[in-house]
A = this chain, B = another copy of it.
């Protein structure tokens, strides 16, 4: 992996990554000149027992882009600069212009509920220079590089004592609110372990203590053995619709042997992870011969300085479509009570995806 760290005129960082050596004289552009003033804070929600983040500076968007402006496209246009320079690189990562978490956050308001500075980081990861591309269309070694980048970001961000959890994710499709379709994801680095990973960690710790094995490792072994919901079965990595899927086409990708993060995987394991990813993504897009919307997130061990023998990295896809034309809306039971109701079985939806033939050799 080749890596080039730059600084934007407004002070934000930009890191370029490539499979090949890069020219060292690239200059980082920015759509704005002034530094971003971000002072988000968090408030405690007493009835849910979780933090909520307030980042009002996000409304302070003085920059009015021209129509068709794509801030993620490499450009040397000095009149309408984008976030990325022209040059030979594969993947770029930079600080979000309007972050929900910032390492400079300080002095939260004093209220009748506990508050905290929303310390942390929000990064944008541009998957490719190709605006019309998609994750599944990238070559395997490009996907492998992306896994290396996510691993490096996890390690670097997690090393900061203020950051206790690192979440890479991708929102794809207008159905999940995406307006900028250039293939990209984000990384949120939190000062606390967020509610869902925290709950999972507690359940995995209890299971590990009782069984001296990982909870997810046992689930993966069950899926590989039963094959009923299996979508990819590689030497190191498996992909499947989990037995307890909440979304019709919910899919997990995980190494067969527990590892706390992408950074803890070997090169060979990450190469197999890339094959699993490409298989799943091509099946998704092949199912109805159209781009398949989803939320994707990568769950790894908290970076709180504690040992996490229970942790097991995995990638989750939450596709909002139940059928080619019907969206799963989260409504009363899901958002009010937290209890998901599915109208299909994971076994049946797995059959749909198993039937989509894909070729990785492109």
Contacts and interface: CB of A to CB of B under 8 A. Distances in A.
A316 B329 contact: no
Contacts of A55: 341-343
A244 B72 CA distance: 34
A92 B81 CA distance: 60
A44 B246 CA distance: 11
B226 A331 contact: no
Interface stretch (A4-12, A132-140, A165-173): A165-173
Contacts of A340: 52-53
A197 B165 CA distance: 26
Contact of A171 (B244, B332, B342, B344): B332
A246 B339 CA distance: 19
A100 interface: yes
Contacts of A49: 199, 202-203
Interface of A: 43-56, 58-59, 100, 111-113, 165, 167, 169-171, 176-177, 186, 188, 190, 192, 194-197, 199-200, 202-204, 207, 215-216, 219, 222, 226, 243-246, 295, 297, 299, 316, 318, 327, 329-333, 335-345, 348
Nearest to A297: B336
B45 A246 contact: yes
Nearest to A207: B46
Find the residue from A165, A197, A341 having the highest chain B CB count within 10 A: A341
A215 B46 contact: yes
A332 B169 contact: yes
22 contacts: A48-B200, A49-B199, A50-B338, A52-B246, A112-B222, A112-B226, A112-B243, A169-B331, A171-B329, A171-B331, A176-B329, A177-B331, A186-B332, A190-B339, A192-B339, A195-B338, A196-B337, A196-B338, A297-B335, A297-B336, A318-B335, A330-B330
B345 A56 contact: yes
Nearest to A175: B329
B297 A341 contact: no
Contacts of A245: 52
Contacts of A330: 330
A113 B243 contact: yes
Given A56-B344, A331-B171, A43 B244 contact: yes
A51 B333 CA distance: 12
A316 B165 CA distance: 30
Given A49-B199, A113-B243, A297-B337, 11 more contacts: A46-B215, A47-B219, A48-B199, A51-B339, A52-B339, A54-B344, A112-B243, A171-B329, A194-B339, A197-B338, A295-B332
